[in-house]
Amino acid sequence: MSVILGLNFGHDGSVCIIKNGKLISAIATERITKIKKQSGFNEDVIDYILSSSNTSINEIDYIATNDFKQEVFGNQVVEDFFEIKGKKIKTFIISHHLAHCASAYYTSPYENSYCFSMDCSMGKIEANSLIAYGNGNKLTAEYCPGIMVGVLYGEVTEKLGLGPALHKAGTMMGLSSYGTPIDFDFQYYPNNIKDKMNVAATTQKIFEEQVLKVIDELEDKSKNLCLSGGSFLNCNANSKIVLNSKFKNIHHFPACGDDGTSVGSALYVAHHILNEPRHSYQPKDICYTGRDYDCEEPDYKFIANEISKGKIIGWFQERSEFGPRALGNRSILADPRNYHNRELINNVIKNREWFRPFAPVVLEEHYKYWFNFPISSPFMLYTAPVIQPDKVPAITHIDGSARFQTINQETNSHYYNLVKEFYEITGVPILLNTSLNGNGEPILETEEDAISFYKNSNLDLMVINGRLLNNKRIS
C-alpha cells in the first residue's frame, strides 16, 4: 500500500494526498496564496496538505501529476523523478485528460463506465478532449472525439468583453439565459448588451448540441457516464445530458476543472498502475477535503430567524470544499424569498455583474417539490426549472431555472440543520447560497481569512465553526 502526493502544475494548481488508494485531503493553491486560479503550488501548499492529512514527506512513496505532451504524442504515462522538500521521489506523469477522467471514474460508484473529458486547452485538437473507458481498476484512453466547442465557448466569452475565459466562462453561462439563439457570424461581435445576450445563448446552444452528439455516438457497452474537465462545470449542458442522453447514471467529480487533475493523477497511479483496491465514496468524502476544524454546535434557530428577518450571513464550517462551488462550508447565505437580496449581494457584498444568478440549497427530501429534475444535485452541477418561482425569486434566474444543490443530514449535518430550521420558521426548505469571497477572489480557506473578510464586508453576521461574530466582534 502506498502514499501518493498528487500535484497539478498548471492553472488551478492543487495538491492532494492519496493513502492506500483513498483520497484523504486536497486543496487548490489559490486557497492558500489568495490568488485566483494560481498556477502550480508553493511550499506553504505542500505543508498544508501534509499537515491536513497527518503525513510527513518521508512517507510519500510516489508523486503523480499530469501534462499535455502525452495527449499529443500518444504516450499516456511517463516516469520521472521530482524533488519535493529535499526528497527525490519517483513520479508518474499522466496525460491531462486521462487525469480528468480518473478523477471522475475512481470516485464514482461504477465498476464500468465511459468517461468523457473536455476543456478549453487550446493548441492541438488532442489536448481538448478524451473518451476513456473504466472497467474495475483499469482506465483506458480510447480516442479523442475531436470536439473543440470548449475552445469556442472560451473565445466567445472573451470576445464579448466578459473577461478571460479561465475566469469568466461561468459568467457567460449566466448571461446566455437572457438571450435567444440566433444565426450569427462569429467574425463580428456586437457592442450592445441585448445582442451580446443572444450571442451567448447561441454559443450555449452549440455547446450543448455538440456535447450531446459526442455522447450519443458512444457504444452501448455501459449505462454509466463520468464527466470531467472544466467544460463540465457548465450546469446547463450537464442538465441536458441527464435529460436527453441515453446514459442512465451520471457522475461528476466536484472539482471538474484542472484543480481536480491532482486527484485524478494520483488515483490513476494508485488503481491502474499499482492495482490498489478502489474505495466507496460518499459525497462528503470528495467535496469536503480541506483541513479539519473543531466545530461547536451553532444556534440554528437564532441564525435561521435572523436570515428570515433579512440578515445576510457568512457561514464558515469545518473542511473546505474542493472545486469552485461553495457547498455549504464556505458560503454566504440569505433568504431566497426576498428578491432584493439578489441585488444586494451582487452590488454591495460581491461587487459583481448585475445579471449573475444565485444558487439555492434545498433539503434533499423536498427538492422535487421545488425543482423539476429527476436526480439530486449534491455538487451544484445541474440547473433545473423552479416549480414555485414566485416564492423564491432571489434564486430564480431570468429563464425560470436555478443551479440547485441538494443537502442531507449525512452529507453535512450543520448545513442541513440550518436549512431545516429555516424551513420550520418559513415553510421554505431553501436558502440562497453563494461563495464566501469577494469578486475575483478565491473562496476563503482559514478562520483568519473569514474574520478579516467579515470585518471589511457588508455582511450582517458571520458564523465560524459554530461561533457567532456580530457587530464585527466575536460574541
Encode pLDDT of 300-359 as tens digits. 999 999 999 999 999 999 999 999 999 999 999 999 999 999 999 989 998 888 888 899
Residue 33 binned pLDDT confidence (cut-offs 50, 70, 90)? very high
Rounded percentage of the chain residues whose pLDDT exceeds 70: 97
Q: What is the chain's mean pLDDT, rounded?
A: 94
Provide the β-strand partners of residue 65: 93
Comparing CA positions, the residue from 425, 462, 264, 240 lying closest to residue 349 is 462
> What average pLDDT does the segment 288-306 reach?
96
pTM, two decimals, is: 0.95
Place of cell 466567445: 156
pLDDT at 76: 85
Instruction: List the domain boundaries for the chain.
Output: 3-144+253-281, 300-474
Residue 475 binned pLDDT confidence (cut-offs 50, 70, 90)? very low
Considering the domain 3-144+253-281 in this protein, what is its CATH number?
Answer: 3.30.420.40
pLDDT at 75: 62
Q: Which residues of 142-177 are buried (b: 16+ CB within 10 A; e: fewer)?
A: eebbebbbbbbbbbbbbbbebeebbebbbbbbbbbb
pLDDT at 185: 85
pLDDT at 473: 44
> What average pLDDT does the segment 196-222 reach?
96
Residue 71 binned pLDDT confidence (cut-offs 50, 70, 90)? low
Residue 187 binned pLDDT confidence (cut-offs 50, 70, 90)? confident
Q: How far apart are CA 406 and CA 363, in angstroms?
A: 6
> What average pLDDT does the segment 152-175 reach?
91
Contact 293, 329 (CB under 8 A): no
Residue 471 binned pLDDT confidence (cut-offs 50, 70, 90)? low
- Asked if the 300-474 domain carries CATH number 2.10.109.10, the reply is no
Cβ-Cβ contacts under 8 Å for 263 (sequence gap 6 or more): 6, 14, 16, 18, 23, 26, 103, 107, 253, 255, 322
Residue 186 binned pLDDT confidence (cut-offs 50, 70, 90)? confident
Provide the β-strand partners of residue 116: 131, 227
pLDDT at 377 over 70: yes
